[in-house]
Homo-oligomer: A and B are copies of this chain.
């Protein structure tokens, strides 16, 4: 065993969709380095703790107890980051995790040191967190193409339109509501219909659905490939 040792932390890219915008949970740093700048929430791995345990513990601590154990929501590893100069304090390896959560009402006493920020507006994060955030967002975009995980952004019961708005916010595109509805309702195991409908809003009431057992989307729902300009 070499003497070249690392501190190991976990950083979280916690995403949600609120007001039709993809948002990320950021914390205001109160310590050096990068004091008074925004960064991803995270913490160090405790003795006898595995990486997913650390991620779940930090997620619960940052978003409210019990959140990590919700039926909805999702947590997966993105990658490890260990550039020699990424932390001025010394060699720190960070394993980033991606968490997808339904939009939740703000706590009664808003926390001034952490909050949701539209991903499109984020600039100047601490450490290499801008890169980690970019990787996490790209992972989320790809995940929506091939899996049913968009429902992780939704509360336990939701409408087809709720689900469509998730795709539109994450991909920053518009999707035809009729074709989208046909796709998701005809995929076996994606949506389980309840027979209740939402009321109150304008227009015809929409049916409420629950997440089904399917995890993979087949065939995939492919975004248009990025258009090559010029």
- A residues sitting closer than 8 Å to B (CB atoms) are 1-2, 4-8, 44-51, 77, 79-84, 89-93, 95, 216, 218-220, 222, 225
State the oligomeric state as a number of copies: 2
CB distance from A149 to the nearest CB of B (A): 15
Nearest CB to that of A9 among chain B residues? B2
Docked-complex contact B8 and A93, CB < 8 angstroms: yes
Residue among B45, B47, B79 making CB contact with A79, cutoff 8 Å: B79
Bound CA span A44–B91, Å: 14
Bound CA span A115–B133, Å: 39
Beyond A1-B89, A4-B45, A225-B216, whether A80 also contacts B83 by CB under 8 A is: no
Residue among B6, B48, B95 making CB contact with A84, cutoff 8 Å: B48
Docked-complex contact B7 and A1, CB < 8 angstroms: yes
Bound CA span A83–B53, Å: 10
CB distance from A226 to the nearest CB of B (A): 9
Q: Show 9 A/B contacts (Cβ-Cβ < 8 Å), sorted by A.
A: A1-B90, A4-B47, A8-B93, A47-B91, A50-B83, A51-B82, A79-B80, A80-B80, A82-B95
Bound CA span A219–B5, Å: 45
Bound CA span A51–B80, Å: 8
Bound CA span A219–B145, Å: 12
Nearest CB to that of A8 among chain B residues? B6
Given contacts A4-B7, A4-B45, 6 further A-B pairs with CB under 8 A are: A1-B7, A2-B44, A6-B8, A8-B93, A77-B80, A79-B79
Enumerate chain B residues within 8 angstroms of A82, measured Cβ to Cβ. Answer: 8, 45, 50-51, 95
Enumerate chain B residues within 8 angstroms of A47, measured Cβ to Cβ. Answer: 4, 84, 91
Bound CA span A181–B56, Å: 46
Nearest CB to that of A46 among chain B residues? B4
Nearest CB to that of A79 among chain B residues? B77
Bound CA span A83–B8, Å: 12
Enumerate chain B residues within 8 angstroms of A46, measured Cβ to Cβ. Answer: 4
Enumerate chain B residues within 8 angstroms of A225, measured Cβ to Cβ. Answer: 216, 218
Enumerate chain B residues within 8 angstroms of A51, measured Cβ to Cβ. Answer: 80-82
Bound CA span A5–B225, Å: 43
